[in-house]
Amino acid sequence: MSEQIQGNAQPGDAVHPGHPVTVNRYGPWQRLNHWITATSLILLLLSGLALFTPELFFLTGLFGGGQATRSIHPWIGVVLFFSFFIFFFQLWKANLPERTDWIWVKKIKDVVGGHEERLPELGKYNAGQKFIFWGMTGLILVLIASGIIIWEQYFSTLTTIPVRRIAVLVHSIAAVLIICIFILHVYAAIWTRGTLRAMTRGTVTGGWAWRHHRKWLRQLADRRKMGPAE
């Protein structure tokens, strides 16, 4: 081959001929990790909103009351942090920006309009998915750092009251932003038919991969042709 096709393929990604063709996208541990992260985010959303405003205090009933919610919320945050960053270290290389990402952004009308034949061939992730990945990464770091500062049970003596007040404000803003990104992520997964299958079964159809991530599919097909010895 005169030029190696780069599609950000990862270990475990593979094409399986058949009717239909199927493509491995996520392994069982990656899917488990993803759902732990998603569940943690939902629990943090509910418990955080319950503590954020009296109008939503009734949500503390889901966690055993106000004191229990206040106690469990930061621990769920710790679970989220470790769960997400296990995922992060598996996927960060595949989410590095590429030149085609800027073209994808410029042609966002074609993306929304379903004219993906007008887009450049994409690797495993498009620019929207990369935005969500890096947005989540940055906001989770902000949330864990600010959360530690305001975790009075263990760290109240390490900071001053003015610092904790700033941390509460930063924590709240980051929480609102990550909720928006999470909603965007869920909407995109539902809107792009066939995407949820990747995180439930671990595979996508060959047609889905050809339409949405053709460069990635080409790399996997090329890898299969070369065989394990290559």
- Taking each continuous run of H as one helix and of E as one strand, the counts in the chain are 10, 3
Task: Report the alpha-carbon distance of residue 12 to residue 225 in Å, rounded.
Answer: 16
pLDDT number for residue 118: 86
Q: Which residues are catalytic?
A: 185
> pLDDT tens for residues 1-43?
333 446 788 888 999 988 889 999 999 999 999 999 999 999 9
> pLDDT tens for residues 100-135?
999 999 998 988 887 888 888 999 999 999 999 999
67-79 mean pLDDT: 96
> pLDDT tens for residues 176-225?
999 999 999 999 999 888 899 999 999 999 999 999 999 999 999 988 77
Exposed e or buried b per residue across 174-211, where buried means at least 16 C-beta atoms within 10 angstroms of its C-beta: bbebbbebbeebeeebeebeebeebeeebbbebebbbb
Question: 201: which 2 tokens?
Answer: 């079964």
Q: Which of 11-20, 65-74, 85-94, 107-116 has the lowest mean pLDDT?
A: 107-116
End-to-end, the C-alpha distance of the chain in Å comes to 13
pLDDT number for residue 4: 41
Report CA torsion sign: 92, 94, 99, 102.
negative
Question: 93: which 2 tokens?
Answer: 């290389």
Asked if 164 contacts 153 with a C-beta cutoff of 8 angstroms, the reply is: no
Task: Report the alpha-carbon distance of residue 123 to residue 5 in Å, rounded.
Answer: 10
Task: Report the alpha-carbon distance of residue 137 to residue 127 in Å, rounded.
Answer: 15
pLDDT number for residue 229: 41
Residue 165 identity? R
Task: Report the alpha-carbon distance of residue 68 to residue 54 in Å, rounded.
Answer: 16
Please state the pTM of the whole predicted model. Answer: 0.89
Q: Based on the number of CB atoms within 10 Å of its own CB, is 104 exposed (0-12), middle (13-18) or buried (19 or more)?
A: buried
